[in-house]
Amino acid sequence: MKVAVVGATGLVGTVMLKVLEERNFPLTELIPVASEKSVGKLIKFKGKEYPIVSIETAIALAPEIAILSAGGSTSLEVAPRFAAVGTTVIDNSSAWRMDPTKKLIVPEVNAHVLTKEDKIIANPNCSTIQMVVALQPLHEKYKIKRVIVSTYQSVTGTGVKAVDQLMNERKGVDGPKAYPYEIDLNVLPHIDVFTDNGYTKEEMKMVKETNKIMGDDSIKVTATTVRIPVMGGHSESVNVEFENDFDLAEVRSILENAPGIVVVDDVANLKYPMPKDAHEKDEVFVGRLRRDESHDKALNMWIVADNLRKGAATNTVQIAEYLVQNKLV
């Protein structure tokens, strides 16, 4: 089982390697891939050193699985070339997510749709992943009509440059900027570029990806995505309108028994999910469960997850695990 990790030196790629190691993924050979300037450098994995190779070398080695975390333009060029040599690609960029011929997968929700013929598989947007993990079991029981979501997203979702900007601002140091404004002691209601309808691409990703992953275009979604000066994970305030009435105790029980979810909901003892608690964890944390008192069939909840893990690396590795367990590679 040869596994290539493309973008192995990046923020997400580094976490990919960590998650592969932690979860003891059954690979026999790691093929770390990065830019030409990194070729030849060594990466340590499970106590062994592996040299970084070029994309050309990795494709020639025809690995069983290639995990791509190197940006959309790279993926559009490279993923089909891997697929052509029989490699199954799991791509972490936005390049293939809305391609109608490609599956968009969150294992807890829709891994069952995967087949051996799926050679390019898309990993969803981080903010969408954590939301649909919590929505799916409730949709199965009560049928969701509409979702209103506001996100509070970590600077790690932008990358190293954004983390450096935040840390530099805290120290009073001038440096490269990832954002058009200061992020420390500030909130930016702006993630990705604005589109013609006044929403950002990030917001529209949450709308379209939710429908595709859950396989139901009747679910109406509206999103406001916000960048905040934290690290550790993304948080979301989610209001869900159901077609059928619900019992709050039953909602809690459904979520407690759903795969990949940890319910942290004890307001009497000030227990609720926070990014600090989700940091370096693979689960999706759900709390602040309460009825929407302005609507008789609506629920409010608060959802938190580590965006570099469940929102990216862990979800990707879980897809790879599913492929191996079900002999799809």
Burial 77-110 (b: 16+ CB within 10 A, else e): ebbeebeeeebbbbbbbbbbbeeeebbbbbbbbb
Please say if 234 is a catalytic residue. Answer: yes
Place of tokens 């690290």: 231
Tokens of 198: 């006044």
74 to each of 35, 37, 99, how far by Cα in Å?
11, 16, 16
CA nearest neighbour of 283 among 295, 268, 269, 273: 273
Please say if 295 is a catalytic residue. Answer: no
Who's near 226: CB < 8 A, 6+ residues apart? 150, 151, 152, 153, 187, 188, 189, 190, 191
* Torsion angle, alpha carbons of 110, 3, 57, 120, to 10: -10
Contact between 304 and 273 under an 8 Å Cβ cutoff? The reply is yes
> How far is the C-alpha of 298 from the C-alpha of 290, rounded, in Å?
9
Place of tokens 């026999």: 28
Catalytic residue among 139, 234, 279, 295: 234
> How far is the C-alpha of 150 from the C-alpha of 134, rounded, in Å?
15
Residue 188 DSSP one-character state: B
**Backbone dihedral angles phi then psi of residue 279, each to the nearest 5 degrees:** -55, 125
Catalytic residues: 126, 234
